[in-house]
Amino acid sequence: MKVRRSDRLIDMTRYLLERPHTLVPLTFFSKRYESAKSSISEDLAIIRRTFAARQTGILETVPGAAGGVRFMPTIGQEEASNFITDMANRLSESDRLLPGGYVYLSDLLGTPEVLRQIGRLIATQYLDQSVDAVMTVATKGIPIAQSVSQYLNVPFVIVRRDSKITEGSTVSVNYVSGSSARIEKMELSKRSLKPGSGVLIVDDFMKAGGTVNGMRGLIEEFGANLVGISVFAEGKFAGDRMVSDYTSLIRVDDVDTKANTLHAVAGNYLDYNHELFGRLREQ
């Protein structure tokens, strides 16, 4: 049965949103809705226009016989900036400060709406880079990795500090935990990364960068390539950080454990991606 345009638009929107960064041939939609390719092309032009106007993302057309359309989710600079400001305010709430200067994040990193936006922001940064997998370390990086992986539509892999029998053979590296300067060990299931794959490292919180540096070592062990490093929040660190090229959404600046206050501000994400947002605006 031929499907009306309004129904096609609704179902195509859902279909594309659920499959980011996936090439969908026009013939697929044409069959699905028993409609002419010319009608499908018109539908897609409308969706492209609305997605651009609402800064939902880019609907890219790939011409030719092997072509189709590909949806790439993005976030607009203003929405990104508002979200970061909101998160910085949330992090600055004094009851988040834990003994030792740690910051309680589990509520935010367990809220679907927050994770959705973190995923959109980080995925936007790596929009046109060749990411084959998102990597993080258990436990608190997992929700971020999962959300980014969803928006980039690639798998995520979880590095562990404790050995688990349910992972099979693993590859392990030693690393220096920056805060405590102790030697630790982390490992990843052997079958989780292919040589040559592009890997994006994400984590919830970075201080000295020791953990992130350990993951970098693991990527090397697997013969894979580091594409980038993005963290939700970075803390202040007195001394040389082990990682220099990274982005953070939030920076926790002043932690005063005596007065029980902390001050969080925007990280370097917006500055780092200034040009990218300029290009996105023009599209």
Residues at the interface with its own copies (CB under 8 A): 5-7, 9-11, 13-14, 17-18, 46-47, 49-51, 53-54, 56, 98-100, 102-107, 110-113, 115-116, 138-140, 142-143, 146-147, 149-150, 153-158, 160, 162, 164-168, 189, 191-192, 205
Least distance from its own copies to the Cβ atom of residue 61, Å: 17
Taking alpha carbons only, the member of 133, 214, 229 closest to residue 172 is: 214
Least distance from its own copies to the Cβ atom of residue 43, Å: 8
DSSP secondary structure code for residue 22 in this structure = -
Residue 199 phi/psi, 5-degree rounding, is: -120, 130
Least distance from its own copies to the Cβ atom of residue 54, Å: 5
- Six-digit token string for 103: 């910051």
How far apart are the C-alpha atoms of 110 and 106, rounded to whole Å?
6
Whichever of 171 and 272 has its CB closer to its own copies, that residue is: 171
Report yes or no: 233 and 249 within 8 Å, Cβ to Cβ.
Answer: yes
Whichever of 70 and 160 has its CB closer to its own copies, that residue is: 160
Least distance from its own copies to the Cβ atom of residue 106, Å: 6
Whichever of 34 and 271 has its CB closer to its own copies, that residue is: 34
How far apart are the C-alpha atoms of 226 and 202, rounded to whole Å?
11
Least distance from its own copies to the Cβ atom of residue 83, Å: 14
Whichever of 151 and 269 has its CB closer to its own copies, that residue is: 151
Whichever of 56 and 273 has its CB closer to its own copies, that residue is: 56
Report yes or no: 73 and 151 within 8 Å, Cβ to Cβ.
Answer: yes
Cα dihedral 242, 245, 249, 255 sign: positive
Identity of the residue numbered 34? E
